[in-house]
């Protein structure tokens, strides 16, 4: 299996490291030709406006949309914003996932936090159903379309992870915790 990680800006190296630790070949994607022969794509956290502008500059918007029509794509934090249909902000977005997302929903860098969240849909009974989630200037999924399944919420009910068919969005950073279960789950989306 060969997974791409969009490597224009942000924490792509952490996703590459986890993929390699679980035996997956990771390809850093910077140009359309890097999308050839990959089995899916992770769009990492970083700064969503910058990621979008660079994706436009390097001609990646259409090729990523084409890839997402048949293969899994996962956006973490800024990557989730880039995947969304609406972010209440004028910026380049893929518009692939039927979610409305609020950028920096929890405030500035100083308001970043960590918490455990329950993710019953993707973990087995033998496995812990909670995940330690790292939120850094994180977005929040404000609403989801009828075709979108909510995977995780904060204790107050706010949505922080969702799936729409082969598309996955997390408002937090699984790649920063050492827990590879979300990456392993993502690998199953293409099967």
Per-residue pLDDT of 5-23, as tens digits, reads: 999 998 899 999 999 999 9
Residues paired with 180 in a beta bridge:
none
Cβ pair 51, 28 in contact under 8 A: no
Least confident of 41-45, 47-51, 106-110: 106-110
- The catalytic site residues sit at 77, 173, 175
Are the C-beta atoms of residues 89 and 102 closer than 8 Å to each other?
no
DSSP β-bridge partners for residue 130: 118
Q: What percent of the chain has pLDDT over 70?
A: 96
Tell me the whole-structure pTM to 2 decimals: 0.94
> For 2-188, CATH number?
3.40.50.880
Whole-number Å distance between alpha carbons of 170 and 61: 20
Local confidence band at 191 (pLDDT 50, 70, 90 cut-offs): low
Task: Match 């500035």 to its residue by tokens.
Answer: 108
pLDDT at 107 over 90: no
> How far apart are the C-alpha atoms of 170 and 85, rounded to whole Å?
15
Q: Which residue has the higher pLDDT, 127 or 132?
A: 132
């Amino acid at each position: 299996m060969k997974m791409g990680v969009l490597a224009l800006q942000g924490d792509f190296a952490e996703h590459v490291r986890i993929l390699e630790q679980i035996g997956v070949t990771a390809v850093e994607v910077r140009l359309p030709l890097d999308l050839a022969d990959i089995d899916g794509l992770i769009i990492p956290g970083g700064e969503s406006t910058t990621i979008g502008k660079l994706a436009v500059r390097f001609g990646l918007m259409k090729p990523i949309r084409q890839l997402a029509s048949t293969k899994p794509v996962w956006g973490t934090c800024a990557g989730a914003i880039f995947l969304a249909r609406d972010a209440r902000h004028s910026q380049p977005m893929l518009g692939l996932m039927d979610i409305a997302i609020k950028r920096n929903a929890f405030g500035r860098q100083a308001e970043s936090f960590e918490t455990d969240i329950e993710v019953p849909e993707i973990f087995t009974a033998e496995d812990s159903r909670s995940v330690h989630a790292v939120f850094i200037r994180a977005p929040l999924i404000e609403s989801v379309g009828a075709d979108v399944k909510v995977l995780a919420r904060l204790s107050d009910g706010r949505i922080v992870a969702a799936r729409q068919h082969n598309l996955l969005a997390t408002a937090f950073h699984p790649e920063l915790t050492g827990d590879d279960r979300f990456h392993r789950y993502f690998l199953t989306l293409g099967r």
